[in-house]
Amino acid sequence: MNSVSSRPQIVRHDRNSRRSRAVMVGDIIYFAGQIGDDLSGDVAQQTREALARLDRLLAELGSDKSRLVSATIWLRDMADFEAMNAVWDGWIDPANPPARSCAQVVMAEPSIRVEIIPVAAR
């Protein structure tokens, strides 16, 4: 059956002409990269702020961190790996950890120390 009506609905959240903060396809939520609010802070602060933003978005979209499926984490410097993990480990639902990867990348804005790109189920 190749009916248009059988396609999952796509809902774009907090969008502009360039990006959406999140896109729901059926019951799966794909998020744009989440960064901290105060980019002058260290990686721990930026990680806490990015995760707080993610908590708000998850709640707005009817989900929570226990429903994370995967997370890709970009670090400006792998020297920040342990400090980021200390915050991540205190935030994540240990009974429902997502698949996760982490890499060092050149950030679009040099003051960004961490960017978190998750996928969640509703």
Domain spans of the chain, in order of start? 33-116
58-80 pLDDT, tens digit per residue, is 999 999 999 999 999 999 999 99
Other residues' Cβ atoms within 10 Å of the Cβ of residue 7: 10
Q: What is the pLDDT of residue 6?
A: 82
Q: What is the pLDDT of residue 28?
A: 98
Q: What is the pTM of this model?
A: 0.92
The residue assigned the tokens 């790109």 is 117
Residue 122 CA to residue 13 CA, distance in Å, equals 14
Q: What is the pLDDT of residue 2?
A: 57
Residue stretches of the chain with pLDDT short of 70: 1-5
Q: Return the CATH fold of 33-116.
A: 60s Ribosomal Protein L30; Chain: A; (3.30.1330)
